[in-house]
């Protein structure tokens, strides 16, 4: 085998791409209904953006970034996520000058140097939304209900929406202190990563997947125990609104998320059936992030979901639409003269928006009919020497096996009529 694709990446081939397009189209229509506009930002950014935005103590910045020096000796990083990029664009492109809040969505590839396994890639794709410039709990509820609405639309079931509040820097500092105090005597029994986290970012210890760390932290103080009045009122209001919107959520006081920028609301959506990597969506509020990267204080909230994981859930739950026949008709031209005539007809039909293909290798009738069936064509349009002499074309319905002859001059109109009828 020659050159292979990099580990943790995928080729998306025809057959699979249609599933992606279906998901992408559903996402776009839900975003339109909720009044979100699309944003596209560069796939690489100055490394500093993620160091400051995502946070120095996170796994992403410490271990997972694709960072390189460009030819001008600038440190660049392939984006591991897009929230920091959207906040940068909000400041740089002066989106704060537009009516607030600014409601944006995006889809695209992200890059993290993680250990590849089922559901975990080095190039993966996210759909995400970010709302900037509003701090009201209504925004939190709208964002979470957008996720809920999308999953309902896709027909997914068995989803668990976990919600928590990680508080503001003031209540978080209190929690950090209490947590360190609780863990002080057990510190040496924690896994190596959590021992490092003890000073750097003790909150993340609550999120460790290691069973012995989970046992050691059972009964540890959670963020909920230390919320200040403002954060607590905000959280209660979000929960009440989620109830109104019909979102089936569960408060999970141990949910902390792996990125540093979160304040107040944090949430995740899991589906058991897709394996170890069961989180298909994660997000939360980040009221300090815009400031952190150099803008004026601006509240924000959003989420991102892993497209690959949503597709796996759709596959497992058998919720992907049946593949539609891709081709309306296959034009079968036999001989050079018929090819000339057929080529013109092909172009006229395509101008009408009809999907039609033609054999490009001069194969015989049998081989071309076989190809037409394989491509799921409804009709074969057959043009041989005999037909040319009579100035007709043969239209064969490949499903019913019926065929009729029509004058060549009427071909476009007649075929278009069939097309408009739906078959
Ligand atoms: P995140 O939790 O790091 O959050 O990623 C969000 C989702 O992306 C995950 O729930 C998962 O479905 C998917 N994902 C992450 N890493 C991988 C991977 N290596 N392979 C496959 N899928 C993956 C963020 O990225 C935040 N920017 C979300 C956010 C937006 N928070 C506020 N606004």
Ligand 1 centre to CA of 258 (Å) is: 9
Q: How far is the CA of 62 from the centre of ligand 1 (A)?
A: 16
140 lines ligand 1 (CB under 6 A): no
d(CA 310, CA 144): 16
Domain of 360, CATH number, reads 3.40.50.800
87 close to ligand 1 (CB < 6 Angstrom): no
Reading the block at residue 247, the tokens are 């979102």
Looking at 284, 316, 348, the residue that finishes a domain is: 316
Q: Is residue 338 part of a domain?
A: yes
pLDDT of residue 423: 56
Is the confidence at residue 325, as pLDDT, over 70?
A: no
Q: Quick one: 156 and 286 in the same domain?
A: yes
Banded pLDDT at 272 (limits 50, 70, 90): confident
User: What spacing in Å lies between the alpha carbon of 396 and ligand 1's midpoint?
Assistant: 50
Report yes or no on 27 lying in a domain: yes
Total residue length of the chain: 423
* Residue 160 pLDDT exceeds 70: yes
Greatest CA span in the chain, whole angstroms?
A: 95
Say if 243 falls within a structural domain: yes
Mean pLDDT calculated for residue range 232-259? 94
Torsion of CA 109, 110, 115, 119, to 10 degrees: -50
pLDDT band for position 418 (50/70/90)?
confident
Ligand 1 pocket check for 106: Cβ under 6 Å: no
- Cβ–ligand 1 contact at 83 (below 6 Å): yes
Domain membership flag for residue 247 = yes
The DSSP H or E segment spanning 129 is: strand 123-132
Which runs of consecutive H residues, i.e. helices, occur in 136-276?
A: 137-154, 169-183, 192-200, 211-217, 229-244
> How many domains are there within the chain?
2
**Measured distance CA(306)–CA(128) in Å, rounded:** 9
- Say yes or no: 48 and 126 in one domain: yes
- For residues 165 and 228, the answer to whether their CB atoms sit within 8 Å is no
283 C-beta closer than 6 A to ligand 1? yes
Ligand 1 atom closest to the CA of 82, numbered from 1: 27
Tokens (6 digits) for 231? 């954060």
Q: Confirm if 38 and 105 have CB atoms less than 8 A apart.
A: yes
Nearest of 28, 293, 246 to residue 152 by alpha carbon? 246
Give 292: exposed, middle or buried? Use CB within 10 Å, 0-12, 13-18, 19+: middle
> Mutation test of ligand 1: which of 108, 304, 310 has the most ligand atoms closer than 8 Å to its C-beta?
304
- Domain span at residue 143 reads 17-168+228-316
Share of the chain above pLDDT 90, in %: 82
Domain ends where: 282, 316, 350? 316
Do 369 and 242 lie in one domain? The reply is no
Rounded to the nearest angstrom, the distance between the alpha carbon of 146 and the centre of ligand 1 is: 17
Specify the CATH number for the domain of residue 141.
Answer: 3.30.930.10
Domain boundary among 269, 286, 316: 316
Q: At what angle do helices 17-34 and 137-154 cross, to 10 degrees?
A: 140
**Could you tell which of 62, 110, 126, 209 is best to mutate to test the pocket of ligand 1, judged by most ligand atoms within 8 Å of the CB?**
126
- Do both 299 and 358 map to the same domain? no
Confidence of residue 200 (pLDDT cuts 50, 70, 90): confident
393 and 365, same domain (yes or no): yes
| Matching residue, tokens 């003269």 | 337
Using the atom order of ligand 1, give the atom closest to the CA of residue 268.
10
Same domain, residue pair 404 and 346: yes
Q: How confident is the model at residue 105 (pLDDT cuts 50, 70, 90)?
A: very high
Q: What is the pLDDT of residue 275?
A: 81
Residues 57 and 21 in one domain: yes
Q: What is the pTM of this model?
A: 0.92
CA torsion through residues 30, 31, 32, 35, sign = positive
* Residues 250 and 124 both lie in one domain: yes
Residue 4 in 3-state DSSP? coil
Average pLDDT over residues 286-304: 97
The partner residues of 251 in beta bridges, in order of sequence, read 163
CA distance 199 to 57: 10
Residues 129 and 271 in one domain: yes
């Amino acid at each position: 085998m020659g050159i292979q694709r990099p580990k943790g990446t995928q080729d998306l081939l025809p057959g699979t791409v249609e599933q992606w397009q279906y998901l992408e189209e559903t996402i776009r229509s839900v975003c339109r209904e909720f009044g979100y506009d699309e944003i596209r930002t560069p796939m690489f950014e100055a490394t500093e953006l993620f160091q400051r935005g995502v946070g120095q103590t996170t796994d992403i910045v410490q271990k997972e970034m694709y960072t390189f020096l460009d030819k001008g000796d600038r440190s660049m990083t392939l984006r591991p996520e897009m929230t920091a990029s959207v906040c940068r664009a909000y400041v740089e492109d002066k989106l704060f000058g537009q009516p607030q809040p600014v409601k944006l969505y995006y889809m695209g590839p992200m890059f993290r140097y993680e250990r590849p396994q089922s559901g975990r890639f080095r190039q993966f794709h996210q759909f995400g939304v970010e709302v900037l410039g509003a701090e009201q709990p209504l925004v939190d509820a709208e964002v979470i209900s957008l996720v809920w609405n999308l999953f309902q639309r896709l027909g997914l079931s068995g989803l668990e929406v976990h919600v928590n509040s990680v508080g503001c820097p003031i209540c978080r500092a209190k929690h950090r202190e209490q947590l360190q105090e609780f863990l002080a005597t057990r510190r040496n029994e924690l896994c190596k990563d959590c021992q490092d986290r003890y000073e750097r970012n003790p909150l993340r210890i609550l999120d460790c997947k290691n069973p012995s760390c989970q046992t050691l932290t059972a009964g540890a103080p959670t963020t909920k125990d230390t919320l200040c009045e403002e954060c607590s009122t905000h959280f209660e209001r979000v929960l009440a609104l989620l109830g109104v919107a019909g979102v089936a959520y569960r408060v999970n006081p141990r949910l902390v998320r792996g990125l540093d920028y979160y304040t107040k609301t944090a949430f995740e959506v899991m589906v058991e059936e897709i394996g170890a990597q069961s989180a298909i969506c994660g997000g939360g509020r980040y009221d300090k992030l815009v400031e952190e990267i150099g803008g004026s204080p601006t509240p924000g909230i959003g989420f991102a979901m892993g497209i690959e994981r949503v597709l796996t859930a759709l596959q497992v739950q058998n919720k992907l639409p049946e593949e539609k026949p891709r081709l309306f008709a296959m034009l079968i031209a036999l001989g050079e003269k018929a090819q000339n005539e057929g080529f013109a007809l092909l172009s006229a039909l395509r101008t009408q928006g009809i999907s039609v293909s033609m054999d490009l290798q001069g194969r015989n009738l049998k081989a071309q009919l076989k190809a037409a069936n394989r491509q799921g064509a409804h009709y074969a349009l057959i043009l041989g020497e005999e037909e040319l002499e009579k100035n007709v074309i043969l239209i064969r319905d490949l499903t019913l096996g019926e065929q009729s002859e029509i004058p060549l001059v009427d071909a476009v109109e007649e075929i278009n009529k069939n097309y408009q009828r739906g078959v």
